[in-house]
Structure formats: structure tokens, C-alpha cells
Amino acid sequence: MKKILFLMLCMLPLSYLHAKDLPYDVLVDNFGYKIAEEGASVSYIENKSSLSSVQLPENVTYQDVSYPVIAIEAGVFSQTGLTRIVLPPLLKKIGDAAFEYCSNLENVAFPTSLEEIGMNAFRECKSLEKADLPHSVFKMGDAAFSGCTALASVIVPSSLKNIPNSAFSSCSFKTIELHDGLESIGEKAFYNCSELQSIKVPDGVSHIGGAAFAYCLQLTSVFIPKSVTFIGEISRDFTSLFTRDDRLKEVVVEDSNPVYDSRDNCVGIIETATNTLLFACRNTIIPNTIGTIGEKAFSYAGSKFSYIEPDVFVENFTIKIPDSVKKIGDNAFYHCNYMDNIVLPNSVTEMGENVFYYCEQLRSIVIGENVPSLVYCFRECSNLKDIYCFPTTPPRLAEPSDNIGIYEWEHTYNRPFLHVKNGYKDAYEQTEWSFCYIVEDLTDGIAQIHDSQSIMPNEEGTLYDLSGRQMVNGKWLNGKLQKGIYIQDGKKVVLK
């Protein structure tokens, strides 16, 4: 008898611990619920494989007491075959990843009691078509609706003060209304919303996170109010606010904004105090009052055949940098694949690193007289053919610790022609520029000509384009002469 009693006493703690380890306090119709004083939370599904259409109860009973269902705990419905769910009318919280990867979920009716939606709550619910969030919701976690590629309709409640990071990234809605009272828009909040056509940031928003509107391929207009005093950057990659927004034609910063402006209808955002172009796109025109082109300003801006309007394509595009620009930041034109040619004026005296990195369509570049360095600027410029270099002191191409040329010409498969002034070939051959075919055929300065002036070959020299194709009587051999950069008598000319 004593032995049996001893064994029973030993087993009691094990039974107690087993009960406490269960993910629920009560199991009702395939669903487990944890009970707290304020209510019940859905914490467990006994058979996930059978889920399709679900209606959660308003209350559950535990030990003869009825408790309202007020929460769904983290991950409960994730990666199930759920297609439809009716949420309890008193629900207050949906936990982190509660419905993540429910790729068949089409419809969710959100109750007016809902206050909080957790991080990744509906992430990758690729069949979810609308999210009419009630005006009781005041908190939302990062990436709550990220990857909901069928999400065509969203109501952002006025009670929500902050749209979190990646909240609606990769959704498919064409329009979204942001209410007054909103205070911040998180990093990549609308990233890759490829159908979104316009964004009007309401007055009261002070903070916009990095790449908030990047990869919005149909975006045509953006309005930034006077209240916005911070627009973020993303240090871990090359995306910027308007990365790959190739249809963007209108960027309006409210006139009374104390930090930013969009002067001269430039289709970009400028830091007023420093005259720095911070955020640009395929259609940005650099104003002639800009002193600095900021880091990553044009990164990923367009592609070789980026369209401005349907069925209208642009080729042979020359980036025109005004004479006011003195500095160009790191990665400023990273992977900018819509430009064929670029001219750095004599005003440029400071260049960051990797400025033209991965500009695969870049065929020619003119380097002004005062550019001191071009560190790693031509990496992966696989189609670069001609470099017209006016400095008499060869610009530095690599850091002193690097082997000469080992990084600068990485994946530049065809050795470009380096055009220098007469008498300076030897100086360039003693540097990492020796990778190039160096020719002495430049005269002083870059001539500027206009449409009204004829460009005619003369007896002493013929007109060539930057690929070496000969021109005849001011026309292409195969078509009309376009605006751009040409060579005549060994001298650069620009047809504007």
C-alpha cells in the first residue's frame, strides 16, 4: 500500500506538468483555446489538414464559465488550406504570422472590435482580394499584408498612425487612400506594388522610410506634404525611394516644406539646404541649381528600353549633368541601364565610388577636366566602348591598396578606347588606365551646338557617332540624325 501511494505521489507532478504543457486549456470543435481573465485566444488546431471554411465562435465555455474569443495566437492558421474565415465579433488581436502562407485564403471579414494585427499576419496570402480594416485598428506589425499579390482593395483606417515596414509590399491595388492623422510610412511600405498609380501622402506625416515607393512600376505621381521632414535610405542594398518607378512623371513637394523641394518640375526630390538631388527616377531632369547628385539617386533607374508611354521606347539616351554639379555620390547611377552616354562637366570635382557600377548599356562617357578619381566606377560596364578623358592628370581608378586595375575593369570584356589630349598618352599608360586602348585625339573643351546649326562633314574631318559609325550630310547612314554626342575633327560636339 505504501509503495502504491509513493508511486501515485511521484506521478502527480508529471501529470501536472503535462497539463501545463498543452497549447490549450479547452478543446472545442477541432480548435484549442487558452483561457485568461479577459477572454479566450485561439491557440491550437487539432487537424489542420481538414481546414477550408471556418467560422470561429463568439464565446467558448471553460469550467462552466463563458469567455469571449478575443485573440488568435501566433502562427495558428499558418500554411493551411484555409479559403475563408469568419472572425469572432469581439476579436481584438490577430497574432504574428497567424495566417501566413495561407495561399488559398480569399476572404476575411474583420470585426469592428479589432485593434491589433501582428507581424506577417497575412503575409503571402496570395488569394486574398481585399482588406477592409476597421477604424478600431491602431497597431499593425511589419509585413502584415506583404506578398498578398491579389490584394486589390485596401482600407487603411484613420485610427492607424503608423504604416509599418513592408506592410503592403507586393500587393496589387491601383489606388490607396491615406487618411489625415497618419504620422509615418515605414521602410518599403508599398514596395513592389506594381499596379499602384499614385500616392498622396497626407499632411501630418513626418517620416517616410527608405524605398517606400520603390518598384511601383505603374506609379505616375507622388505628392509630399510640408510635414515630411525625413525620408530614409536603405544602407543594406541599392534601392532608393523611386527605384524602378519608370513611369513616374510628377513629383510634387509642397512649397512650404522646410527640408525638401521638387524645383523646376524636375520629377525628383531635392534637399533644399544643400542643393542635393536625393531621389531621382527614369524621367528626372537634373536642375541647373543642383550642386550634388546624392548616393544611389538614380540607382536602378530604368532599363535599355524602358517605356515612358505604352509602345514608345527610348534609345541612345544621353544623361545631361548641368555645370552646377560639383559632386556625385557613391552608386549614384548604379545599374542605371537606360543611358547610353553621359557627360561629366568640368564643374565636377568629386566623384564617389561605384558611380556607374553595372551600367551595362553605357557605351560612352565624357570626363571633364577636373574629375580627380573614378574609383570602381566602370565595373560591370560590359558595353563601354569610348571614354573621352579631358583631365591632364589621370583620374585615380582604384584604392592604393588594390592591385592596379584588378577591380576597375572587372567584366568589362571589351577593352574600351580611352581618348586623351595630345601629349598625355604616356601619363595614362603608367596607371591602371593602361587596360584601355589609349589614343591622343582630344582638343580642349567640349563644344556645344544647337539644332539650328548644321553639322556637316568637311574636307578635313568626318562626323562620327560614339560607336564609330560614320555620318553623311548630317544624317545617319540608316536614318535621321538624333540629338546626342558626336565626334568631329577629333572634337566632342553635343547636339541638343
Q: What's the half-sphere exposure (Cβ side, CA atoms, 13 Å) at 140?
A: 31
Find all residues with CB under 8 Å of 127, minimum gap 6, and list them: 83, 103, 104, 105, 106, 150
Per DSSP bridges, beta strands 162-163 and 250-253 are unpaired
How many C-beta neighbours within 10 Å does residue 417 have? 18
Burial class, 65, CB count within 10 angstroms (exposed 0-12 / middle 13-18 / buried 19+):
exposed
pTM for the predicted model, two decimal places: 0.83
Range 463-487 average pLDDT: 55
Cell of 445: 573643351
Beta strands in 37-146 (DSSP E): 39-45, 53-55, 59-62, 65-72, 84-86, 93-94, 107-109, 116-117, 130-132, 139-140
**pLDDT of 316 over the 70 cut:** no
Residue 97: left if φ>0, alpha if ψ -120 to 50, beta else—which one?
left
- Region for 147 from its dihedrals, namely left if φ exceeds 0, alpha if ψ lies in -120 to 50, beta otherwise: left
pLDDT digits over 398-426, tens only?
Answer: 765 554 444 455 555 578 899 999 999 99
- Asked whether the predicted pLDDT for residue 394 surpasses 80, the reply is yes
Task: Assess whether pLDDT exceeds 70 at residue 20.
Answer: no
Question: Half-sphere exposure of residue 291, counting CA atoms within 13 Å on the CB side?
Answer: 5
| Residue 338 reports pLDDT greater than 90 | no
Task: Place 326 in a pLDDT band, splitting at 50, 70 and 90.
Answer: very high
pLDDT in tens, 198-255: 999 999 999 999 999 999 999 999 999 999 999 999 877 888 999 999 999 999 999 9
Share of the chain above pLDDT 90, in %: 67
Average pLDDT, stretch 352-380?
92
Per-residue model confidence as pLDDT tens digits over 258-311: 999 999 999 999 999 999 999 999 899 999 999 999 999 999 987 543 333 333
The three three-digit cell numbers of residue 340, written as one number:
547610353
Give the pLDDT of residue 219: 97
Which pLDDT value is given to residue 478? 43
For residue 3, what pLDDT is reported? Answer: 52
Main-chain phi, psi angles of 7, to 5 degrees:
-65, -40
Structure confidence at residue 462 as a pLDDT band (50, 70, 90): low
Residue 81 has pLDDT above 60, yes or no: yes
pLDDT for position 413: 56
Q: What is the DSSP string of 149-203?
A: TT--EEE--TT--EE-TTTTTT---S-----TT--EE-TTTTTT-TT--EEEPPT
Is the pLDDT higher at 91 or at 338?
91
Q: How far apart are CA 205 and CA 225, in angstroms?
A: 8
In DSSP notation, 227-239 reads T--EE---TTSS-
196 exposed, middle or buried (CB, 10 Å; 0-12, 13-18, 19+)? Answer: buried
Cα(92)–Cα(69) distance, integer angstroms: 9
Distant-in-sequence, close-in-space partners of 337: CB < 8 Å, separation ≥ 6: 302, 303, 304, 358, 359, 360, 361
Between residues 454 and 379, which one has the greater pLDDT? 379
Look at 167-171, 382-386, 441-445, 450-454 and tell me which has the smallest mean pLDDT: 450-454
Residue type, 162: N
Mean pLDDT of the chain: 85
DSSP letter for 465, please: E
- CB distance 209 to 165 below 8 Å: yes
Is the per-residue pLDDT at 486 higher than 70? no
Q: Is 326 within 8 Å of 292 (Cβ atoms)?
A: yes
